[in-house]
Amino acid sequence: MDAYKLMKELRVNYEQEAHYRPKETGLRLIESTTEGDSRISAKGRNAKVEDLWSLTSFFGYSTQTFVLAVNLLDRFLAMIKVQPKHLSCVSVSCLHMAAKVTEEECDLSPADELIRIGQCRFTTSDLCRMEKIVGEKLGFKSNAVTALTFLHLYHQIALSHSTDRKESLSLEKLEAQLKACLCRISFSKAKPSVLALSLLRQEMEAVQSEDMLEIAYHIQRHLKITDGELLLWSERVAPCLSDYASPECSKPNHRKLQWIVSRRTAQNLHSYRTVPELPTIPEGCWDESESEDLCEDVMSSGEESLSSSLGSDAEGPFFPLHLRRQKHLHA
């Protein structure tokens, strides 16, 4: 696609994006909710989105599916008060819906597999019902304009302008960064076009390409995005990306996961704990070396027992006092 057509498409999407944004008031409400309330909190939503990402990755779905699923989820949560216990059902149905429109038939996993792997407590029929509800409320037909749409367009534009620098802007990396941002509810408040542009700029600054930044500026002017808005979101995106890229590991919260094993394996898991112990016999320091020579003699019934030779016990004045005392420890 040539640059002109791309720009035109960009414009079209920009005009439509407002239609697919979650209600800001709804999002704020979630952000302000504290833990343990009867409403869903930001932490709860973020954790669920991370789970969605795990499922997406596991089933081999594309980033498009994930982004769409998060979009649906946020729009629904911002619109309707959902109880925390239903959050799991809502999120998985969003994922399923997104997968159905994005993925190919052959790559689609059945709903019951999704539920089993996700260790969900609801049934397939629950899932179907929830999908219908979400679809109705959101008027969802087939697709949505998301930050990913813009990211792809921007990337193509950048490519078309500088063909010799094909390798420097990795779409995969941008997608991964977008995914990291979407795991935090605050970024759902941003305009998708602005969020995508912030990500683009960050990456361009990282590779230190002046030409690229020119292109980004060009896009910004084309879409009439204000400097202030762009700066605001760039500042928020930067720490998120640096967290994502840091080599530090976060302690996984695996207590949430169920580890189901077969009966036979479960039986044998901690069999070692039942090994009965005889009391420990400490190794003596002064008897062992002597005993080595004692084994030289072949035993015969007439001979006196070998252990009676000198030095094998602490008897008599031959041994110093402290060693004699040791004898009683073994009694």
Partner 1 sequence: MNVPGQPPFVTFVPRQPTDCSISIALCIKMSAISASEKVDGFTRKSMRKAQKQRKSQGSSQYRTQSAPVELSPLPQLKDAPSTEQQELFTQKLQQCCMLFDFLDSVMDLKSKEIKRATLNELVDYVSTNRGVLVESTYPEITNMICTNIFRTLPPSDNPDFDPEEDEPTLEASWPHIQLVYEFLLRFLENPDFQPSIAKRHIDQKFVLQLLELFDSEDPRERDFLKTILHRIYGKFLGLRAFIRKQINNIFLRFIYETEHFNAIMSIINIHDYLVHVVCLSFCTVICLMRSCCFSVCSIINGFALPLKAEHKQFLMKVLIPLHTAKGLALFHAQLAYCVVQFLEKDPTLTEPVIRGLLKFWPKTCSQKEVMFLGEIEEILDVIEPTQFKKIQEPLFKQISKCVANPHFQVAERALYFWNNEYILSLIEENIDKVLPIMFGSLYRISKEHWNPTIVALVYNVLKTLMEMNCTLFDELTSSYKAERQREKKKEQERDELWKKLDELRLSSAALVQNNSHGLPSVQNNNNNNNNNNSSNNNDNQDTRAEAAAVPTDNKVPDAGVAASESTPCAK
- 191, 237 contact by CB (below 8 A): no
Helices 63-79 and 24-32: crossing angle in degrees, nearest 10, is: 80
Which CB atom, from 86 or from 116, has the smaller least distance to partner 1? 116
d(C-alpha 134, C-alpha 111), whole Å: 16
Q: Does 104 bind partner 1 (CB under 8 A)?
A: no
Among 19, 141, 301, 322, binds partner 1 (CB under 8 A): 301
Q: How far is the CB of 174 from partner 1 (least distance, A)?
A: 12
Count of positions on this chain that bind partner 1 (CB under 8 A): 71
Among 8, 15, 24, 60, binds partner 1 (CB under 8 A): 60
Interacting residues with partner 1 between 110 and 169 (CB under 8 A): 116-117, 119
CA neighbor of 72 nearest in space, from 31, 41, 104, 100: 100
Buried/exposed code over 178-212 (b: 16+ C-beta within 10 A; e: otherwise): bbbbbbebebbbbbbbbbbbbbbbbbbeeeebeeb
Q: Does 295 bind partner 1 (CB under 8 A)?
A: yes
Amino acid code (one letter) for 233: W
DSSP string, 79-103: HS---HHHHHHHHHHHHHHHHHHHS
Q: How far is the CB of 302 from partner 1 (least distance, A)?
A: 8
Q: How far is the CB of 279 from partner 1 (least distance, A)?
A: 6
Tally of residues, the chain: 331
d(C-alpha 96, C-alpha 117), whole Å: 13
Q: How far is the CB of 316 from partner 1 (least distance, A)?
A: 9
Q: Does 172 bind partner 1 (CB under 8 A)?
A: yes
Token pair for 284: 């003596």
Among 36, 264, 317, 320, binds partner 1 (CB under 8 A): 264
Q: Does 176 bind partner 1 (CB under 8 A)?
A: yes
Q: Does 47 bind partner 1 (CB under 8 A)?
A: no
Residue 88: CB atoms within 10 Å: 18
Which CB atom, from 141 or from 328, has the smaller least distance to partner 1? 328
Buried/exposed code over 14-46 (b: 16+ C-beta within 10 A; e: otherwise): beebeebbbeeebbeebeebeeeeeebbbebbe
Q: Does 50 bind partner 1 (CB under 8 A)?
A: yes
Q: Segment near partner 1 (CB under 8 A), from 70-78, 79-87, 203-211, 265-273? A: 265-273
Which CB atom, from 78 or from 147, has the smaller least distance to partner 1? 147
DSSP one-letter code for 163: G
d(C-alpha 7, C-alpha 19), whole Å: 20
Q: How far is the CB of 244 from partner 1 (least distance, A)?
A: 6
First to last CA, the chain: 93
Among 8, 121, 137, 330, binds partner 1 (CB under 8 A): 330
Contacts of 156 (CB under 8 A, 6+ apart): 1, 6
Among 16, 123, 267, 305, binds partner 1 (CB under 8 A): 305
Among 1, 18, 58, 222, binds partner 1 (CB under 8 A): 58
Q: Does 251 bind partner 1 (CB under 8 A)?
A: yes
Q: Does 299 bind partner 1 (CB under 8 A)?
A: yes
Q: Does 315 bind partner 1 (CB under 8 A)?
A: yes
Q: Does 318 bind partner 1 (CB under 8 A)?
A: no
d(C-alpha 42, C-alpha 34), whole Å: 8
Q: Does 300 bind partner 1 (CB under 8 A)?
A: yes
Interacting residues with partner 1 between 220 and 249 (CB under 8 A): 244-247, 249
Q: Does 281 bind partner 1 (CB under 8 A)?
A: yes
